[in-house]
Amino acid sequence: MNYTKSAIIVFLILLVDQVVKIWIKTHMYLGEEFSVLGDWFKIHFTENEGMAFGMTFGGSTGKLFLTIFRLIAVGFIAYYIHKLIKHKEHPGFIACFSLILAGAIGNIIDSVFYGVIFSDSNYQIAQLFPKEGGYEQLLFGRVVDMLYFPIYEGYLPSWIPLWGGDYFIFFRPVFNIADASITTGVACIIIFQKVFFKNPNQNKIQADGK
Say how far apart CA 148 and CA 138 lie, in whole Å: 28
pLDDT of residue 75: 96
pLDDT of residue 206: 54
Say how far apart CA 210 and CA 201 lie, in whole Å: 11
User: Confidence band (pLDDT; 50, 70, 90) for 163?
Assistant: confident
Tell me the per-residue pLDDT of 112-152, one tens digit each, with 9 for 90 and over: 999 999 999 999 999 999 999 999 999 999 999 999 998 87
Instruction: Locate the domains of the chain by residue range.
Output: 3-119+130-208
Say how far apart CA 173 and CA 53 lie, in whole Å: 5
User: Confidence band (pLDDT; 50, 70, 90) for 48?
Assistant: confident
User: Confidence band (pLDDT; 50, 70, 90) for 50?
Assistant: low
Tell me the per-residue pLDDT of 56-70, one tens digit each, with 9 for 90 and over: 555 677 778 888 888
Say how far apart CA 33 and CA 49 lie, in whole Å: 20
pLDDT of residue 58: 54
- What are the contacts of 184-187 at 24+ separation with CB within 8 A? 184/96, 184/99, 185/95, 185/96, 185/97, 185/98, 185/99, 185/100, 185/103, 186/96, 186/100
Tell me the per-residue pLDDT of 191-206, one tens digit each, with 9 for 90 and over: 999 999 875 555 555 5
Choose between 55 and 108: higher pLDDT: 108
Report the interhelical angle of 3-27 vs 91-109 (nearest 10°). 30
CB count in 10 Å sphere of residue 67: 21
Contact 105, 122 (CB under 8 A): no
Say how far apart CA 196 and CA 150 lie, in whole Å: 34
- What percent of the chain has pLDDT above 70? 89
User: Confidence band (pLDDT; 50, 70, 90) for 208?
Assistant: low
- Mean pLDDT across the chain: 88
Catalytic residues: 145, 179
